[in-house]
Amino acid sequence: MPEDPVAEPPRTIEDLRALALSVGRDEAGFSLGSKAHDVFAKLVEAPEQSAVRSISELANQFGINPSTLTRLAKRLGFEGFSDFQAVFRKAIANDQQYFYSRQAGRLLATRSVDNAEVEVFERLARETAANVDGFLGQLDGVSLQGATRLLANARRVRVHGVRQFHSLASFLTYCLGMVRSDVALLDAPRLGVAEALSQLDPGDVVIVASCAPYTRSVAEVARIASANGQAVIAITDSRSSPLVPPAAHAFFIPHTSSFYSNSMGAYVVFCEALLNLVARELGDKALNSLAGRERLIAEMNIEVG
């Protein structure tokens, strides 16, 4: 890691997030080690935690020494960790966008004695609400507009996710296909993703989705698609995600919960809202597409009956 600190440290949470993205894309003019970048990304993704926890608590959470956080702060141009943490404290002070996170934290600290089975549902619902609040606090309107226009206007859209994210990819494919044509899972032809990518043209869109622990093949699809001229949209969890560097637009969805695997609830909410934006962008085209589907379904029902 170079020793020279950043000349002027960021003084807003938005600027810190932009810097974390730039570092991951090698556009910041300086570099951080992979571990330091991962910690930096996690700090800016949960400002409500970064603001209130002590340096020792945060270090323990990330499995590092407190001195690592101090070095990171100074590398970013701050006088020390307290100066760095002040940005997070300013961001959440009296900020209503973190109200639900604070509320969820209080609720999760409460354990019910009776109705233990119902408590499992209530707890997961509260955690999902906190995850939704987490991504709302990180949304960038410009990036949303850019992704919306790409999804509305590109000739082809292909969606790729594996394991849990295959279901999310299928959901996105089906719903986006309701309002526009030529949308498919990347591996739908069953020819393999390499063959599927080779059939795409520059300007086509590839959506990739994955979260930690990341699937290497999904990151490789994003890299190859970007190199081939496709516009990549990444739906992931962190600015240190390997899906971010090749992406034209990246969106960060928390998945912390008591579910034994990665929680998908907030991802579905994000995708539904993004689909609504695309439908609005398409306007009459979306309405005509939906009406055509309804007519086809009605005709099929008549024929079957």
Write out the two tokens for 282: 């398409």
Please say whether the structural domain 138-300 has been given the CATH code 3.10.620.30: no
SS3 266: helix
Which tens digit of pLDDT belongs to each residue from 236-263? 999 899 999 999 999 999 998 888 888 9
CA-to-CA distance for 257 and 149, rounded, in angstroms?
32
Give domain limits for the chain. 13-100, 138-300
- The DSSP H or E segment spanning 191 is none
Write out the two tokens for 35: 């571990």
pLDDT at 5 over 80: no
SS3 46: coil
Cβ atoms < 10 Å from Cβ of 130: 22
CB burial string 221-243: b at 16+ within 10 A, e below? bbbbbbeeebbbbbbbbbbbbbb
Q: Is the peptide bond before 213 cis (omega within 30 degrees of 0)?
A: yes
- Across the range 195-209, mean pLDDT stands at 95
- Across the range 52-62, mean pLDDT stands at 88
pLDDT the model gives residue 106: 47
CB 210 within 8 A of CB 167: no
pLDDT the model gives residue 101: 53
SS3 44: helix
pLDDT band for position 265 (cuts 50, 70, 90): very high
Write out the two tokens for 100: 């639900």
- Across the range 89-117, mean pLDDT stands at 60
pLDDT at 72 over 90: yes
Which residues have a Cβ under 8 Å from the Cβ of 156 and sit 6 or more positions away?
A: 182, 183, 184, 200, 201, 204, 205
pLDDT the model gives residue 305: 40
Look at domain 13-100 and name its CATH class: mainly alpha
Cβ atoms < 10 Å from Cβ of 119: 14
Most confident option among 27-36, 130-139, 156-165, 184-193: 156-165
Which tens digit of pLDDT belongs to each residue from 128-170? 998 998 899 889 999 999 999 999 999 999 999 999 999 999 9
For residue 37, what are the CA distances in angstroms to 33, 131, 234? 6, 22, 18
Q: Global pTM? A: 0.74
pLDDT band for position 96 (cuts 50, 70, 90): low
**Closest to 40 measured CA to CA, from 19, 25, 63:** 19
**Closest to 196 measured CA to CA, from 223, 225, 164:** 225
Taking the CA atoms of the chain, what radius of gyration do you get in angstroms? 21
Phi then psi for residue 242, to 5 deg, are: -65, -10
Do the domains spanning 13-100 and 138-300 agree at the CATH topology level? no
By CB atoms closer than 10 A (0-12, 13-18, 19+), residue 256 is middle
Q: What are the beta bridge partners of residue 249? A: 233
| N-to-C CA span, the chain | 70
Average pLDDT, rounded, for the chain: 87
pLDDT the model gives residue 52: 79
pLDDT at 230 over 50: yes
SS3 300: helix
